[in-house]
Each structure stands twice: as C-alpha cells, then as structure tokens.
Structure 1
Amino acid sequence: MRTLLLTVSLGLVAALQAQDPPASGGLGQDVSGKWYLKAATADQEIPMKKPESVTSMNLTVLEGGNLEVQATILIDGQCRDKTLVLERASEPGKYTAYGGKRVVYITPSAVKDHYILYCEGELGGKQIRVAKLMGRDPENNAGALEDFKKVAEAKGLHLEVFIPRQSETCSPEA
C-alpha cells in the first residue's frame, strides 16, 4: 500500500515540485491545485497492485517549499485516501520522501501544463526507478505521452507504459 501511495503521490508531487512558489526562486508558477496522473512506467515490475482508477490529486505548496500530495485511489474495490509530503532539497526540482529513502525529480514536459516525475529509491529491498506523467486536465495528450516515452527511454525505463483510467470520484464496486 505504501508503494501505491508513493507511486501516485510522487506523480502528484512531481507536478507540484516543478512549480516552486515564486517566493522560493523556483519556476515562478503555482503548482497548487488539481493534477492528474496520465502515465507511469518503471525499470522493473512493481510488486503491488495497480490502481483500478485514479482521481485528481491535490497539491499544496507548504511553508519552506515542501509539497503535500493528497489523492484517493481505488484498489481492490476500496477507496483509499493517501497523503504524502515531499521535502524540498537544495537542488531545484529535487525532493525527498520517506525520510530521504526516495528521491524525486520534477521536470517540465515539452508540452504545456505537463510534468514528468522521476523517482529513485528502495522498494522491498530492491532499488527501483519510476517515471510518471502528470497533467492539469484529465484528457490524454498524445504529444505529452510521446514526450514522456522519450524521457523514460532515455532514463532506461523500457517497461510497458501504464495509462490509468481517470475518474471524477472514487466509486467502490458494489
């Protein structure tokens, strides 16, 4: 479950991270608000269940430039609310999570209102690398997906790209 939360949250955090608040000397864009997980891939199979559907994530820039990511995920027919704080590092676009055990880099995509989140860390005793595409709206964008695939391949992530089903609300199965 922590892995799923991390995966979803990192995607959200990446989007927020890429847009440090103007006062912090970042990109000068506000990343607070709704973001959508558009795609994800990794350098190996992740030993966890993929979400059945995802809702928008809410990002909040906290004092000091940290990011709080809140998301609801449908897994095994149950809605699960998750919150993760990404701690801002000294390097622009770099964050840490879980006490520094995972590092997250957020970079803008070549397509407006899209960001790519790249995470490195340990999961189940193994090193893993994950990339996620985040966007401001729930609609898929072919250009953003193509840019994401190029970036993921350049990072050595050659596994299948997962494109989640978007939902406005989390609706558990009856």
Structure 2
Amino acid sequence: MKALLLTAVLGLVAALSLALEHQDLSGTWYVKAMVTDKDLQKENKFQKVFPVRVTILDDRDMEVTITFMKEDKCHQKTILMQKTDEPGKYTGYEGRKFLQVQKLLGTDDFVFYCEDRSHGRLHRMAKIMGRSSVTADPRALEEFKKFVQRKGFPEGAIFMPTQTESCAPAQ
C-alpha cells in the first residue's frame, strides 16, 4: 500500500513538473501578496509595486523586466535568468540570484520565490503573482502561507502591496 501511494505521489510530482516545464510564463504578471526579509520590509520599498514583464526565450531562459521606485524616481531593470535542469528554477548573475516559479494548486496564480546573494548577505522574497490584477484567491493565499512557512518566513509578515499600473522610468 505504501509503495502504491509513493508511486502515485511521485507520478503527480512528475506530472506537475512536466506541466510547469511546458507552461508559458511569458506575459505581464501582477503582484497580489508578498513577503520579504525583515530588513527589506523596514525600508518600505515594496508598499507600491508595478506589473512584472516575463519573456521566455527560445532556449527556455527567462527575461524578467521589473519596475521600481528609488529616490522618488521610477526605474526599470531587465534581468536574464538561466534555466536550470530543475523545472521552474532559474539562476542569474553567476549564481547570485535564484528564482523558483511554482503554480499554486487549485488556482491560476503562481509563487515567484527569489533569493539574492549580494554584498555578503542573503535577501529573500516570495510573491503571489497572477495574470490579472484581481486580489489573490483565498485558496492561493492559503497555499502561499504554507509555502512561506516552509521557507522560514513568519506568516504575519505577508502583506498586500498597492498594485500600480505603470510609471515612466527616469532618463
């Protein structure tokens, strides 16, 4: 019985991995909820967020364009993330940046989990991302809470930033 259950679970994991492998993540994504490391939250950088543009390239690498405010000016940055051998996982900047994309079961939303190792420190962030700016589905939020706890973030640190449509980058 245990062997049958293990086989079924492994089959489901393989099917989900294959589905994510062939999922086209290209398009505009909206932040619905997020959590960051404590020192990033203190800076209040993420109270207002902008849509993220994702392009999957021919070699399955991912180009991510983010927009953010810094010193009251709008900035845009494009990051190239290389696909790893594991479905849904990408690295960039010579391994200093890590991105894991995971579909939230029973919803149309995804978790985008990022790690950035720079200046001798590790900064982590997880977001519920969706293709529409509609508020996160309650099921997605429950799955996100479980994901966040597994990654070691305090559940109470989850917040819903204000989604802003766009801003013009500084010249």
Q: TM-score, normalising length from structure 2?
A: 0.75
SS across alignment from 1:65? coil
Aligned to 2:153: 157
Q: Distance in 1 between matches of 2:46 and 2:150?
A: 26
Aligned to 2:4: none
Q: Identity over aligned residues, as a percent?
A: 35
For these two proteins, the number of residue pairs brought into alignment is 151
The alignment status of 1:28 with 2:34, answered yes or no, reads no
Aligned to 2:139: 143
Q: Distance in 2 between matches of 1:54 and 1:104?
A: 18
Query: Compared with structure 1, are the counterparts of its residues 166 and 65 closer, same or farther at alpha carbon in structure 2 (3 Å cutoff)?
Result: same
CA RMSD in angstroms, aligned pairs only: 2.7
SS across alignment from 1:72? strand
In the TM superposition, residue 95 of structure 1 has moved relative to its aligned partner by 0.6
Q: 1:78 aligns with which of 64, 73, 78?
A: 73
Deviating beyond 6 angstroms after TM superposition, the runs of 4 or more aligned structure 1 residues are none
Q: 1:114 aligns with which of 105, 109, 114?
A: 109
Structure 2: tracts of 5 or more residues without a match: 1-16
User: Which has more radius of gyration?
Assistant: 2
Q: Assess if the C-alpha contact under 8 Å between 2:21 and 2:88 holds in 1.
A: no
In the TM superposition, residue 156 of structure 1 has moved relative to its aligned partner by 1.1
Q: Distance in 2 between matches of 1:43 and 1:168?
A: 25
Q: 1:105 aligns with which of 100, 104, 125?
A: 100
The residue type paired with residue 96 of structure 1 is T
